[in-house]
Amino acid sequence: MAALDVAVVTFPSAQILDVTGPLEVFSSADHLLPTVEYRTQVVSPSGGMVQASSGLSFGTTALADVVEPVDTLVVAGGRDMDEACADEELLAHVRRLAGSARRVTSVCSGAFVLAAAGLLDGRRATTHWAECQLLASAHPQVSVDGDAIYVRDGDVWTSAGVTAGIDLALALVADDHGARAAAAVARHLVVYLRRSGGQAQFSTLLAAQAAESEPVRELLAWLPDHLAEDLSVPALARRVHLSERQFSRVFKAEVGLTPSEHVEGLRLEAACRLLETTGHAVDHIARTCGFRVPETMNRTFRRRLDTTPGEHRRHFGQFAGR
């Protein structure tokens, strides 16, 4: 199989994991899989040593020295994105390499460079959750998905913050060589081949940890172990000894979601975990997670993840591709 050239574009004050995360995925695939060959290089506007935001310095090749075409162009994110996006030489080289690349990708705030270069116009994209609103306001011609781990729009892929670059790179390996190859790399790196592009940057459990009031905190801790029970608003309001109206108001203020939205998110995440890690039948998982019937769970997967339980299991199951 012909080697696939990967160029990772970086600059001073880059986020080091935006660079090294994808590099480790591609180099692991190259090492582990006999039919796979990736040739990677890290490039920057001037070449030479670049100091990351963490203080670590690493060597790079000058962008002007990169010979076209590269197969995959990856643009990393970093701290001083205003400077990077105002660097016309950087943007010109990104446009040049993107023009002949098979696919163009970004990690975290690297999406701002792609947007500044005009490569995201008319496309869906994502970036770090804290920067999504800024990306949308600075580039209204880009349709920003603030919840996705990564987004693919044709031959352009963008990903969320930091470790999402690993998810993106694993998805690229799967796109090139199949789920089995990507699963082998994920096992080697001791990471999960589980986060689909449609999954949220925040889990429902994580998003709820900021709750402050005692009744809501206790309820949030209780919910994940009782998903098959009656979790309607009247039932939950009774549990915390509040009226339905007061409970709904306090819950939304504390968690940022309605009780029904939060419960649905918990059930969906639990179903994903069971589909990924067990061989239980779909109807059993639906009952265990409180959906009661597979049809309800299927509709939720379609609406929230744009997939089905069966498709999710085939793509992210523990033994995917075997």
Do 128 and 109 meet the contact criterion of CB atoms below 8 Å apart?
Answer: yes
CA pair distance 26, 23, nearest whole angstrom: 5
Which residue out of 85, 108, 132, 289 is catalytically annotated? Answer: 108
Nearest 5°: phi and psi at 49?
Answer: -75, 135
Residue 108 known to be catalytic: yes
Ramachandran quadrant class, 212 (left: phi over 0; alpha: psi -120 to 50; beta: rest):
alpha
The two tokens of residue 120 are 């995201």
Closest by CA to 279, choosing from 245, 315, 313, is 313
> Residue 290 half-sphere exposure, CB side, CA atoms within 13 Å?
19
In order of 237, 258, 260, 290, 299, the CA distances from 138 in angstroms are 42, 30, 34, 42, 35
Just list the catalytic residues. 108
